[in-house]
Amino acid sequence: MDRIFCISAGQLIVKKSDTVINRQNRYLNYGLLSLATELRKSGWNALQIQGLFESPIETVKKCIDFGFCNLSTLPFLISVPSFYAISWVNEFISLIKEINSSVKIIIGGRWVIADRSDLMQSLVPDADIVVPGLADRNITRIVESCLSFEFEKLKIPVSTLKNSLDYNLLYERELYQPSLEVSRGCGMGCSFCQEKNEPLQRLKSSSIIIDEAKSILIDDNLNKMNIYFESSMFIPTRSWVESLKEKREHELLFFDWRSESRVDTINLKLVKHLAEAGLKVLDLGLESASKSQLIRMGKTRNAALYLDRASRLLKECHVNGIFVKINILLFAGETSETISETIEWLMLHRQYIKGVSVGPLIVFGWECNTEDYIKELQSYGASRSHMPTEGVQHINLSDEIDHGKAIDISKEISEEFMTKEDYFYLKSFSYFSRDYRFEDFKNDLTR
């Protein structure tokens, strides 16, 4: 039976260095999997294939293996998760059209397209439909609008239609660490965040989370399967945590999970209960320990209180066996003095930190949409560096620290506060391919 191929675009241009180790990352496009699941519920034969770091021709070959040919009639869905993926998308579409010139191409990508479908159409001229925003409720209608005939759908028993993402639709799903979207939005107003104005939604109920976990988890001989609770701002309540803990114990479903949050939004009194409910890794968006930089970012109005809260949260997590990875952003106006302030703070808390991820500010978005933000950054002493591709603006943080130096500093800080063993643990917990062992990792370090 003909398939709807749901393609998560790969990258010919990469944000991080193109190494053997980085190519082991399998960042799950769970938004696309949500669309594939909706199509499956509507009776369509959907399959998700992720381009990752492969060439477009390799992904095309997989589509052919699963039945794509010059007689195929159903459209392709292509999710564009980053501006870095645009060149990959164009090459992929060209290859698909060579095989079947009549196949329709639907592209989406909430954060890339934003409200400028016209600009995306100009970048990807062979796309037939460009879909802005979220398409969860409309994807079936969009697909059917591409067809000029009635198509025989699959007959799916109602009892199999679950709330969870259907990981059986994901090619090589056993190699991915799964994700569950537990809430959307943030709305805290940090200047660098794409969800700064998106209202925060309530957390998904623990009952639904447990039901989804039961349908997702695999017990096999690969690296242990964990779950990432996807939430731009994770703010659990006592009742939610207690309910999750109770239902995990009732179902004997003792999976470990990970989430991301700000340092000033998790109630310290809940940390012990979160650990008992399975939280094992917490990504904390500290961003900086320089008071002036925190103010510039819009992270807080009281930097001293913010850092004190961060310190207490780190210690509480450490006591309760929760590993913390600190995220640091080198921001506009950065100097050797502000960076030293951050490093000194990290030094004081080294024993409580499992790892540190550091990167310089990069501005993503259409130039017409980012002009005002660039001007704000320039008021702090930053300047434009270069554009590696459309929609990606590298920034010189100050006269003292250009983009290249910021990259070097980021690497030095990460290596200072994260051992190879801890790096592998954090990466394999959520991102590395589940068949990638520590021995493989050590061998790749020498290549």
- Per-residue pLDDT at 156: 64
- 93 sits in which H/E element: helix 86-99
Q: What is the arrangement of strands in the sheet containing 362-364, beginning at the earlier edge strand?
A: 362-364, 392-396, 383-389
More confident residue, 447 or 313: 313
Q: What is the mean pLDDT of the chain?
A: 92
- If we measure between CA atoms, which residue out of 23, 370, 96 comes closest to residue 107? 96
- pLDDT, tens digit, for every residue of 355-373? 999 999 999 999 999 999 9
Exposed, middle or buried by CB within 10 Å (0-12, 13-18, 19+), for 127? buried
159 — pLDDT class (breaks 50, 70, 90): very low
Q: Which residue has the tokens 């329709």?
A: 104
- pLDDT, tens digit, for every residue of 201-226? 789 999 999 999 999 999 999 999 99
How do strand 179-181 and strand 227-230 relate by DSSP bridges?
Answer: parallel
The count of other CB atoms within 10 Å of the CB of residue 447 is 7
Inter-axis angle of helices 206-216 and 238-251, to 10 degrees?
40
Q: Whole-angstrom Cα distance, residue 137 to residue 57?
A: 31
Terminal C-alpha separation, the chain = 44
Residues 33/166, Cβ–Cβ less than 8 Å: yes
In degrees rounded to 5, what are phi and psi of residue 203? Answer: -65, 145
Average pLDDT over residues 27-36: 94
379 — pLDDT class (breaks 50, 70, 90): very high
- pLDDT, tens digit, for every residue of 96-133? 999 999 999 999 998 899 989 999 999 999 999 999 98
All domains in the chain, ordered by first residue: 4-160 (3.40.50.280), 177-445 (3.30.750.200)
pLDDT > 80? residue 1: no
What is the percent of the chain with per-residue pLDDT over 70, rounded to a whole number?
A: 93
- pLDDT, tens digit, for every residue of 323-333? 999 999 999 99
Q: Whole-angstrom Cα distance, residue 227 to residue 273?
A: 18
Q: Whole-angstrom Cα distance, residue 371 to residue 59?
A: 36
- If we measure between CA atoms, which residue out of 417, 398, 378 comes closest to residue 338? 398
More confident residue, 12 or 380: 380
Amino acid found at 264: D
- Strands (E) in 211-341, as ranges, are 227-230, 257-261, 279-287, 323-330
Q: Whole-angstrom Cα distance, residue 379 to residue 407?
A: 22
pLDDT > 50? residue 161: no
The tokens describing 15, both together, are 């944000």
Average pLDDT over residues 432-439: 97
What is the percent of the chain with per-residue pLDDT over 90, rounded to a whole number?
A: 81
